[in-house]
Amino acid sequence: MKIFSSVNDVKDISALVGEALKLKKDPFAFQHLGKNKTLCLVFLNPSLRTRISTQKAALNLGMNVIVLNIDKEGWALELQDGAIMNGTTVEHIREAAGVMGEYSDIIGVRSFPGLKNRDEDYSENIFNKFVEFCKVPVVSLESATRHPLQSLADLVTIEELKIVSRPKVVLTWAPHIKPLPQAVPNSFAEWMCKADVDFIIAHPAGYELCADFTNGATITHNQDEAIRDADFIYVKNWSAYEPYGVVTSGNEHWMLTNEKLKQAPNAKVMHCLPVRRNLELSDEVLDGPQSVVIHEAGNRVWAAQAVLKQMLEAL
Ligand code: CP
């Protein structure tokens, strides 16, 4: 594997999930693969889970790891081709990515969308420029439109915890106070549409995701009906795709509560985290027996390790 930016970069999804679960049982079996290899993790935005789990995954594989919070510690990056750089930006992404490629065997990049210009965000300009100019394999640590390491960890979690062969998986929109990217729900939908699950997306009217990511999913505005007898309920906020980046009020009742969970007594509740308590998800659900959010975050290590292992094997 040379690029990991979406489920479309994966040849065999169930083999990759199986690899992650094998690595979970035997984390240090492939330390030789990463010996004298360097992973550079470049963050243009904050992170807790992605940063630490990917570092740990690389260390488990014997790699050296460099982390650069380029938004705070690097030169101000220019992203536009042809820019006359007489303003605040100091270094063009062409040189920055090219130089980082000289120091690294694999690069990871996190860059969120601006949520102002949909075409620009969905063009994945920043991620694609890293791929073009760094000349080494690149793994997405969450881009403008997708979060594939999160989605792989989510699928690993579902595979590990399911008690029926084809579980009912529901992605349900949750309230938030500010516009959030569509990357996590886009990516989760894209992976679930290719997995052996019955997949339903529930959201208020106006929060339709881009259809490119939801082909094959059942989509409803009725949250109660969607979550009835679910095996997994994935809770996530996102801002509107059309009109882009907008948040409308009046949907506060979409927060998942224990009362709603009575309809899905066997459901495991997932969230990618970070989560705003008692806004997106109630304390009672997060602290209750149906929540698997910490377990899910733990699986980020094995998802990242499975991807890095495939990248190291292809070097
Ligand atoms: N879920 C996730 O990607 O968390 P971080 O933003 O903390 O990395």
Q: Say if residue 243 is preceded by a cis peptide, omega within 30 of 0.
A: yes
Residues 163 and 263 grouped into a single domain: yes
Structure tokens belonging to residue 242: 């059309």
Q: For the chain, what is the domain count?
A: 2
208 and 131, same structural domain?
Answer: no
Rounded alpha-carbon distances, angstroms, from residue 288 to 94, 102, 269, 283: 48, 48, 10, 8
Looking at the structure, tell me whether residues 269 and 287 fall in a common domain: yes
143 CB less than 6 Å from ligand 1?
no
Position of tokens 């062969």?
Answer: 165
Whether 154 and 293 share a structural domain = yes
Residues 232 and 120 in one domain: no
Assess whether the C-beta atom of 85 lies below 6 angstroms from ligand 1. no
Question: How many A from CA of 274 to the centre of ligand 1?
Answer: 6
Q: How far is the CA of 51 from the centre of ligand 1 (A)?
A: 8
Residues 85 and 114 in one domain: yes
- Whether 49 is in the pocket of ligand 1, judged by its Cβ within 6 Å, is yes
Say whether both 155 and 232 belong to one domain: yes
Residues 180 and 237 in one domain: yes
Query: Residue 232: which residues within 8 A CB-CB, separation 6 or more?
Result: 158, 161, 162, 167, 168, 169, 170, 197, 267, 268, 269, 270
Shared domain check, 197 and 130? no
Reading the chain (315 residues) residue by residue, the pLDDT tens digits are 999 999 999 999 999 999 999 999 999 999 999 999 999 999 999 999 999 999 999 999 999 999 999 989 999 999 999 999 999 999 999 999 999 999 999 999 999 999 999 999 999 999 999 999 999 999 999 999 999 999 999 999 999 999 999 999 999 999 999 999 999 999 999 999 999 999 999 999 999 999 999 999 999 999 999 999 999 999 999 999 999 999 999 999 999 999 999 999 999 999 999 999 999 999 999 999 999 999 999 999 999 999 999 999 999
Spacing, Cα 150 to ligand 1 middle (Å):
8
For residue 33, give its domain range.
Answer: 3-146+300-314
Same domain, 222 and 259: yes
Residue 306, both tokens? 């499975």
Residue of the CA atom closest to atom 4 of ligand 1? 49
Question: Is residue 159 located within the same domain as residue 285?
Answer: yes
Dihedral over alpha carbons 142, 139, 303, 143 (to 10 degrees)? 10
74: CATH: 3.40.50.1370
Ligand 1 atom with minimal separation from the 46 CA: 6
| Residue 142, ligand 1, Cβ within 6 A | yes
DSSP for 265-293, written as a single string: TTPEEE--S---BTTTB-HHHHTSTTB-H
Q: How far is the CA of 211 from the centre of ligand 1 (A)?
A: 24
Q: Which of 43, 45, 47 to mutate to test the pocket of ligand 1 (most atoms within 8 A of CB)?
A: 47
Question: What are the residues whose beta carbons fall under 8 Å from the beta carbon of 81, sequence distance 6 or more?
Answer: none
Give tens-digit pLDDT for 71-96.
899 999 999 999 999 999 999 999 99
71, 139, 272, 280: which to mutate for ligand 1, most atoms within 8 A of CB? 272
Same domain, 85 and 212: no
Closest CA to 16 of 175, 191, 228: 191
From 147, 237, 273, 295, give the residue whose CB has the most ligand 1 atoms within 8 Å, as the site to mutate. Answer: 273
Ligand 1 touching residue 187 (CB < 6 A): no
Distances (CA, A) of 53 to 243, 264, 272, 298: 34, 31, 13, 8
Q: Establish whether residue 299 lines the binding site of ligand 1, counting it when its CB lies within 6 angstroms of any ligand atom.
A: no
Among residues 74, 138, 72, the alpha carbon closest in space to that of 109 is found at: 138
